[in-house]
Amino acid sequence: MGRGLFVVFEGIDASGKSTQARRVAHQRGAYFTFEPGDTSLGAELRRWVLDATTAMSPVTEALLMLSDRSHHVRSVIEPMLESGRHVVSDRYFASTLAYQGFGGGVDLARLEAATELAIGTCLPDLTVLIDTPLDVAMERRTPDANDRFESADPAFHQRVRDGYLALAAKWGSRWCVIDGSEEEARVGELIDEQLRSLPW
Ligand code: TYD
């Protein structure tokens, strides 16, 4: 059996990506996973990094996210792909570049080097960026959403959104950008059109 396909969903908070990632995984019989936190070590790291009450620098955040990712790749993603299973992940390395790099100001070249150390050659076959304007995402957000990133100011989230678009432009061929301001069903159709090009 050949290696499975690896598809990643990215976007700002409340962009609608988690709903779409779960739907695609379900429809394609793929293994659904997410970052940060889909391993027992990851769940601990997630608790630390999302806890808004502990002050933490963007570099510290990045290193915790990368620890989670490194463990996630080796213990979940790679073994699944090698066994021939398709994997759909809600967030992957672009989240660290967008949030800690573009959003938090951590040097991008160093983050990219650290990312390579964390993930090795495990690159997604396709990254689906759900690009949602801030005001649309704000409306969708649940009122009690107040972890470290959800409580960050709008300027931070704007940098994250712009950062994602810059990343999509840079890595053009393995990325697609979907207009997240469309209604959910339409966003789903646009994603499915892009997924058709992959050898499922
Ligand atoms: P989560 O509750 O999973 O949010 P979402 O449904 O939006 O994915 O929380 C993850 C938060 O962590 C989210 O605000 C993005 C942030 N994050 C980073 O800042 N860097 C990263 O590398 C990752 C994976 C997530």
Q: Is the pLDDT confidence value at 170 over 80?
A: yes
Helix, strand or coil, per DSSP, at residue 93: helix
Range 111-137 average pLDDT: 96
Q: To which CATH superfamily is domain 6-195 assigned?
A: P-loop containing nucleotide triphosphate hydrolases (3.40.50.300)
Q: Is the pLDDT confidence value at 1 over 80?
A: no
CB burial of residue 181 (10 Å; 0-12, 13-18, 19+): middle
| Cβ of 115 less than 6 Å from ligand 1 | no
Q: Whole-model pTM?
A: 0.96
How many whole angstroms from 2 Cα to the centroid of ligand 1? 31
The overall average pLDDT reported for the chain is 94
Concatenated DSSP letters of 74-127: IIIIHHHHHTT--EEEE--HHHHIIIIIIIT---HHHHHHHHHHHHTT---SEE
Question: If pLDDT is split at 50, 70 and 90, which confidence band does 52 have?
Answer: confident
How many whole angstroms from 199 Cα to the centroid of ligand 1? 29
How many angstroms separate the CA atoms of 10 and 176, rounded?
10
Asked if 29 and 80 count as a contact pair (C-beta separation under 8 A), the reply is: no
